[in-house]
Amino acid sequence: MLPLYSPENFLRREAEDGSIQATLAQELGEIASIHMRKIASSHGARLRKAWDELSPLLGRLQDAAIHGEFGKEASDYARDAAQRFILTLDILRARGNNDIIHERAGTPPVLIYDYEIALDGRGLNPPVNYYLLKIKPPAGVETFDWKRPYLIIDPRAGHGAGIGGFKPDSQVGVALHDGHPVYFTVFHPMPEPDQTLAGVMRAEASFVAEIRRRHPSAPKPIIVGNCQGGWAALVLAAVNPEITGPLVVNGAPVATWSGRKGENPMRYNGGLLGGVLPALFLSDLGAGVFDGAHLVSNFEALNPGRNFFGKYFDLYAQPEKVRPAFLDFERWWGGFHFMNEAEIHWIVEQIFIGNRLARGEARIERGRRLDLKAIRSPIIVFASRGDNITPPQQALNWIVDTYVDEHEIRIRGQRIIYMIHDKVGHLGIFVSSSIAKKEHSEVTSTMKTIEALAPGLYEMTIDEASGEGVHERFLVSFHERKMSDLAAFDDSRDDEKAFGAVSRLSELGSELYDMTVRPVVQASVSHRTADFLRKTHPSRLQRRMFSDENPAMKLVAGAAENVAGSRQPAQADNPFLGLEKVWGEGIVQMFDFWRDLRDAAYEMTFFGLYGTPWMARLGAPNAYQRKQIDAGELAHLPEVEEILLAVDRGGFDVAVIRMLILMAESRGAVRRDRLERSAKVLSQDEPFVSLGAENRAKIIREQTILVEFARERAIETLPNLLPSPDERRGAIELVEYIAGSVDEMEPNTVKTLERLRAVLDLPPLVTASGTTSADPLLAYSDPAQSPSSAKA
């Protein structure tokens, strides 16, 4: 080993630093190029579009002047614009008044459904501000206690709860209309004293226990987590793997260091704003309570054109039409909630700055490490390329960080399914009616069959719509995927090393703040001071200034009433309305241009600071990847070797499940109609129904491992599992019924089916007429006469 200060060591370090500097210069040039191309392309196209819209409008104005109609068009527009201005001010007045009423009522959830409180977390030990709601189905909708219940966990990220049931076409509406009991986790504005996320996790576990107590004959509840509720659902299932059913994780930021160059500017905030320090300082200014309005301000700054101008311009353009939707949404957007310092500290440090949950290093409390491998429930991850808060990389890369490869997912008996939307934004994932009608509806249907799916990593696709309205149906398929398919969503993960320095500096900065400045800040802030700072937060002031608390707005109320009685909108083809639209789009583009330049500067500054050799050395202790075993060692795990030794043991049930897995493995994809037939047989027909859900899952996992590591041996030993001719015929008939028509099979699937028939000494498969369209096990009126009754 070279001495620490030897010339050779010095020269080696200099060479490494030079390499890092060269790589950094190349990356900065690449990042600048990406941003400039995007800015030139998008804004160039928008300018051309604006000119194309402007040219005919100028022509129409010229025609109006020639025909003597210019004055009338201008007068009509001026009257219409003034009336719309008054109506817009009145809507803003109503928004401010709604905020006051909503806050005085305790900012209840914005659910449109009636509900009852099933369990209040304030009565638990430790007490928390969460409580469980039982949603009452609307008139004409019936739910059934034996159907799998849903528990929806909404994000606690500055706003209140209820966005998942904000519209009839929503996550709640889809589940209710399918007959499922629905429960909703919500929270009071203020946390309980000394509340922690460990206490919240325990409360959510109590909520699941309460749901299971109310529905003893139903399967384990489905947990739906939206945004931060998504990683909360993962934490709940990792600590309590035995209590939950399938997990649906929508737009949840888990691998928060991930992203693509030239995109996803929010991931750089921690490094540029001081790590965990702002959260600690703002919590101290709040007398130990962190104001959610700060988080909302951050979200708004991501898209200033929309949030600071665009949505108000849309309101001004059509005040009568937009008013109901605007006020409904703003009631949720302005319902600010709070967290204890311990809660926001954990979230920022463990997830957004440290990225510890994805890497298996997060601790929900002292001595309790969170390992996502412990989750046994199937997981569906829904993400979107149009999400600027949780891009697909942040929603999916935790899978790559947690498992060696797709083989380990199978070995552990896990099913992870992901679905990617092309363009919907972050809130649209759980708010959009179109997403609810398609994606959430199909996910709900999939939940009936997901546990019949062989363990593995899958992509869920939705294609080929048929029918219309409530009768619209889609073709849903599950395609086997590899870890390399997830890596394709990212350009590279080398840029994540820079975040190690952010994490290290954040730790050092918070320790220094604790020892020096913090005692002074805490001693200087009283509860009265904290309350004053909350009330004067810009996000609240901009709303309250338009409410009736401002005496001038009372004049607006009277004026709006007069306008409503004498409303005279301009004609839709008025050229001044067209000019107004072009002007409004131009203002939005100006904001967007500034935002794009800001984001480019953000990214360049971040890597210019944290990509240097000095920062690389500083962040090295934190820029690690989770230690993984070699993929080749998976076959030598004791549990795998034990299963491989039992390859020739079992009976009818084991043989059928093994053959179904072989068929699925040969296809590389599973259509939902086949999965539904498989689920029906495994959950309703004997001998499978007598096994129980846990034993069925155990057999599916074991047979998946056999097919994975000893495929040929698994096929060759099938006759040992099916010794009699009747059992063999019955088993292959059942497999062919589930597989469906031969005409629709892939060539590899047909070959596998022919191989199975050959090894069982059955006649070869000749035509599609050889397959059955009815469940063979139902053909026996006496179960004792069924081939399955002779199982070993």
Which range (120-129, 349-358, 637-646) has the least confidence? 637-646
Give dist(CA 494, CA 737) in Å, integer: 48
Which range (555-569, 698-712, 739-753, 756-770) has the least confidence? 756-770
Give dist(CA 447, CA 459) in Å, integer: 15
3-state SS assignment for residue 3: coil
DSSP 743: G
Of 513, 531, 536, residue with least CA distance to 287: 531
Give dist(CA 351, CA 257) in Å, integer: 9
- Mean pLDDT of the chain, nearest integer: 88
Percent of the chain at pLDDT > 70 equals 93
With beta carbons less than 8 A apart as the criterion, state whether 38 and 262 touch: yes
Give dist(CA 41, CA 46) in Å, integer: 9
Residue 475: predicted pLDDT = 73
pLDDT at 631 over 80: no
Residue 1: predicted pLDDT = 46
pLDDT at 452 over 90: no
Give dist(CA 464, CA 737) in Å, integer: 23
With beta carbons less than 8 A apart as the criterion, state whether 481 and 406 touch: yes
pLDDT at 575 over 80: yes
pLDDT-derived band of residue 224, with 50, 70 and 90 as boundaries?
A: very high
Question: Other C-beta atoms within 10 Å of 778: how many?
Answer: 12
The residues, ordered by sequence, that sit 6+ positions from 700 with a Cβ below 8 Å of its Cβ are 413, 452, 454, 455, 657, 661
The arithmetic mean of pLDDT across residues 736-740, rounded, is 85
* pLDDT tens profile 770-780: 455 667 766 54
Could you give the C-alpha distances from 333 to 129, 279, 300, 429, 481, in angstroms and in order? 20, 21, 10, 16, 38
With beta carbons less than 8 A apart as the criterion, state whether 771 and 754 touch: no
Which range (209-213, 347-351, 421-425, 516-520) has the least confidence? 421-425
Residue 316: predicted pLDDT = 97
Give dist(CA 373, CA 241) in Å, integer: 10
pLDDT-derived band of residue 714, with 50, 70 and 90 as boundaries?
A: very high
Give dist(CA 551, CA 511) in Å, integer: 48
With beta carbons less than 8 A apart as the criterion, state whether 788 and 652 touch: yes
Determine whether 444 is exposed, middle or buried from the number of CB atoms within 10 Å of its CB (0-12, 13-18, 19+): buried
Residue 788: predicted pLDDT = 54
DSSP β-bridge partners for residue 225: 153, 249
With beta carbons less than 8 A apart as the criterion, state whether 660 and 738 touch: yes
Give dist(CA 255, CA 361) in Å, integer: 12
Residue 786: predicted pLDDT = 55
DSSP β-bridge partners for residue 150: 182, 222
Residue 39: predicted pLDDT = 95
* pLDDT tens profile 9-31: 656 666 676 777 888 888 899 99
DSSP β-bridge partners for residue 130: 187
Of 494, 383, 437, residue with least CA distance to 170: 437
- CA dihedral of 608, 614, 620, 622, whole degrees rounded to 10: -60
Kindly state the tokens that stand for 341.
């310092």
Give dist(CA 260, CA 391) in Å, integer: 9
The arithmetic mean of pLDDT across residues 597-605, rounded, is 94
The helix (run of H) or strand (run of E) holding residue 184 is: strand 182-187
Residue 135: predicted pLDDT = 95
* pLDDT tens profile 92-102: 999 999 999 99
The arithmetic mean of pLDDT across residues 553-562, rounded, is 92
The arithmetic mean of pLDDT across residues 69-82, rounded, is 94
Tell me which of 28 and 631 has the higher pLDDT.
Answer: 28
